[in-house]
């Protein structure tokens, strides 16, 4: 009897094992996967990367060639170097000025020479003016003598007829007249000659004055070049790069050599972000931006879009635009040229009703829809959006209006969808294959298949 009971128990166990593992797999209906609609604060952002840049950078160069002989001192008395704080007109560096001093001295000597020549020319003008006055006075005297001789000869011409004067006296009066007339001609020539000499002396004065102006211009240029040997800071800022060393010779030719790079004010910085052409339409000046840098993980910084630059860049057929973001750097944590990860705030909603994007993409088969007709298909559904809710073993559509999306969730309105409501996002189907299931092998038959 005991043996019979043991045998029955073994048979029952064997039958149960067969039923569990070797029975034919059954086909079951679809199992829907669902997700809840949620109401929460929602922000749509455009992601980008960029570089932290000083708000304004001045490249200080040299306008003259020469050897760097010394660096200046900052307000604390330290030699100008990387990171030095500088103020306007503070000396940054000195270039060897020996040649430029010689040019200044030479220009001063030229001015002294030109002034001496001008003085000499002025003296000549005065002498020429005296000669003109003397010649004009002599000419007047000659005219008076000519007038007297003319009267005497005229009288002699009358008296010769009555034999009151002799022929000898007559000839004397005639000779005196002709001599006086010739003297007037000589006097006129002397006046013209003295006037010409005066004009020449005046021209010499003008030339000497021009020489002085030319020499003064050369002196101004030489003094200006001498001043250029002292390199001064044009702004108040911080030196972020020093590009020369003492003893190095700088050569100013077509382009001024760069000596120092000065950031105007590091309390304010800019982030130059590269934004894809597909997203640039959603970026506007004044937009709020959040960003972080690897140097300060976990810390976010805020900025505002200041400018969208129009000179697009194309790299491997990808067009990007540079967007300038203004940010405060009073803490000094944002160093120049750090890489920043930016999020441009495109849309911000408070208490928005959100659904997964999968709920808007999923479409059921006609037999799964209540009534057997899918209103989400066909020309009448064009431009409309639907989500699906369970109704018994089937689903029914709910038309909604979609709003902003972040690529994962989308804001919806209308349709009577409420917070926490279950929406269909997919289904899990049982395989319809018939066979046996090996408990020690992967589930090839009878496994679940998602859709």
Q: What is the CATH number of the domain that holds 244?
A: 2.40.50.100
In contact, 43 and 404? CB cutoff 8 Å? no
Give the separation between CA 161 and CA 182, rounded to whole angstroms: 27
Residue 265's SS3 state is coil
Identify whether residues 219 and 237 lie together within a single domain.
no
Q: What angle do CA 91, 92, 94 make, to 5 degrees?
A: 85
Rounded Cα distance, 396 and 364, in Å: 9
Residue 369 burial (C-beta neighbours within 10 Å; 0-12, 13-18, 19+): buried
Asked, for residue 4, whether it belongs to a domain, the answer is: no
- Phi and psi (nearest 5°) for 135? -65, -40
Residue 434, pLDDT score: 46
**107, 220: one domain:** yes
Q: What is the pLDDT of residue 30?
A: 66
Whole-number Å distance between alpha carbons of 334 and 336: 7
- Asked if residue 197 and residue 81 are part of one domain, the reply reads no
Using alpha carbons only, what angle is made at residue 66 by residues 64 and 70, rounded to the nearest 5 degrees? 110
Long-range contacts made by residues 11-16, C-beta under 8 angstroms, separation at least 24?
none
Say if 302 falls within a structural domain: no
> Could you report the per-residue pLDDT of 329-386, keeping only the tens digit for each?
999 999 999 999 999 998 888 888 898 999 888 888 888 888 777 777 777 677 788 8
Is residue 438, in this structure, part of any structural domain at all? yes
How many domains, the chain? 3
Predicted local confidence at residue 433, as pLDDT: 47
**85 and 151 together in one domain:** no
Residue 14 is assigned to a structural domain of this protein: no
Q: Are residues 68 and 152 in the same domain?
A: no
Kindly give, in sequence order, each residue whose CB lies less than 8 Å from that of residue 308, ignoring residues fewer than 6 positions away: 280, 283, 285, 321, 322, 323, 324
Q: Looking at residue 413, what is its pLDDT?
A: 85
Domain membership of residue 176 (yes or no) is yes
For 176, the domain range is: 100-226
User: Which run of H or of E encompasses 39?
Assistant: strand 38-54
Instruction: Please tell me whether residues 180 and 218 are part of one structural domain.
Output: yes
Which of 325, 266, 277, 318 lies closest to 301, judged by CA?
A: 325
Cβ atoms of 145 and 183 within 8 Å: the answer is yes
Residue 77: phi, psi to the nearest 5? 85, 10
Q: 292 in the Ramachandran plot: left (φ > 0), alpha (ψ -120 to 50) or beta?
A: beta
If asked whether residues 84 and 122 sit together in one domain, one would say no
pLDDT recorded at residue 105: 94
pLDDT at 448: 41
pTM for the full predicted model: 0.62
Domain shared by 238 and 154, yes or no: no
Query: Residue 392: phi, psi to the nearest 5?
Result: 70, -130
SS3 of residue 369 by DSSP: strand
Position 290 in a domain: no
Closest CA to 409 of 389, 396, 423: 423
For residue 318, tell me if it sits in a domain: no
Where is 109: in which H helix or E strand? helix 98-159
Same domain, 241 and 92: yes
Tell whether 81 and 183 lie within a shared domain: no
Q: Give me the pLDDT at residue 451, please.
A: 43
**Please, what are the averages of pLDDT over each run of 10 residues along the chain (451 residues)?**
51 50 47 87 89 92 91 90 92 93 93 90 86 84 83 78 76 81 84 85 88 92 93 92 91 78 91 94 94 94 95 92 95 93 90 88 85 73 84 86 85 84 81 50 43 43
Q: Is the dihedral of CA 8, 10, 16, 19 positive or negative?
A: negative
426 part of a folded domain:
yes
* Predicted pLDDT at 19: 42
**Pair (91, 31) in one structural domain:** no
Q: Return the CATH number at 138.
A: 1.10.287.470
**What's the CATH code of the domain at 364?**
2.40.420.20
């Amino acid at each position: 009897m005991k043996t019979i009971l043991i045998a029955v128990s073994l048979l029952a166990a064997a039958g149960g094992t067969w039923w569990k593992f070797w029975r034919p797999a059954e086909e079951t209906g679809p199992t829907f996967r669902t997700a809840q609609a949620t109401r929460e604060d929602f922000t749509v952002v455009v992601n980008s990367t960029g570089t932290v840049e000083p708000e304004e950078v001045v490249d200080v160069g040299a306008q003259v060639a020469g050897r760097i002989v010394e660096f200046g001192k900052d307000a604390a008395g330290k030699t100008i170097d990387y990171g030095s704080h500088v103020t306007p007109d503070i000396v940054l560096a000195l270039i060897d000025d020996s040649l430029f001093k010689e040019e200044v001295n030479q220009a001063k000597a030229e001015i002294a020479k030109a002034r001496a020549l001008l003085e000499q020319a002025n003296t000549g003008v005065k002498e020429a003016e005296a000669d003109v006055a003397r010649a004009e006075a002599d000419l007047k005297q000659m005219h008076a003598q000519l007038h007297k001789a003319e009267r005497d000869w005229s009288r002699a011409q009358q008296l010769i007829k009555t034999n009151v004067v002799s022929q000898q006296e007559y000839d004397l009066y005639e000779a005196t007249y002709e001599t006086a007339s010739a003297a007037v001609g000589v006097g006129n020539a002397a006046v013209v000659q003295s006037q010409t000499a005066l004009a020449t002396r005046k021209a010499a004065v003008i030339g000497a004055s021009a020489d002085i102006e030319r020499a003064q211009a050369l002196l101004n240029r030489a003094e200006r070049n001498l001043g250029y040997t002292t390199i001064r800071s044009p702004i108040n800022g911080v030196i972020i790069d020093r590009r020369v060393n003492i003893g190095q010779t700088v050569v100013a030719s077509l382009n001024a050599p760069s000596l120092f790079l000065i950031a105007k004010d590091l309390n304010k910085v800019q982030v130059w972000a590269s934004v894809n052409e597909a997203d640039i339409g959603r970026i506007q000046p004044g937009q709020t931006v959040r960003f972080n840098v690897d140097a300060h993980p976990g810390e976010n910084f805020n900025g505002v879009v200041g400018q969208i630059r129009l000179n697009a860049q194309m790299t491997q057929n990808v067009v990007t635009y540079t967007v300038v973001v203004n940010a405060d750097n009073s803490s000094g944590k944002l160093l120049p040229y750090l890489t920043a990860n930016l999020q441009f705030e495109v849309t911000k909603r408070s208490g928005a009703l959100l659904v997964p994007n999968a709920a808007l993409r999923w479409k059921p088969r006609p037999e799964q829809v209540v009534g057997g007709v899918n209103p989400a298909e066909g020309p009448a559904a064009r431009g409309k959006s639907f989500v699906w809710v369970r109704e018994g073993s089937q689903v029914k559509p709910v038309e909604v209006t979609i709003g902003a999306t972040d690529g994962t969730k989308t804001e919806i309105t209308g349709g009577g969808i409420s917070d926490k409501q279950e929406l269909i996002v997919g289904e899990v189907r049982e395989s319809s294959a018939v066979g046996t299931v090996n408990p020690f092998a992967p589930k090839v038959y009878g496994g679940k298949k998602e859709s």
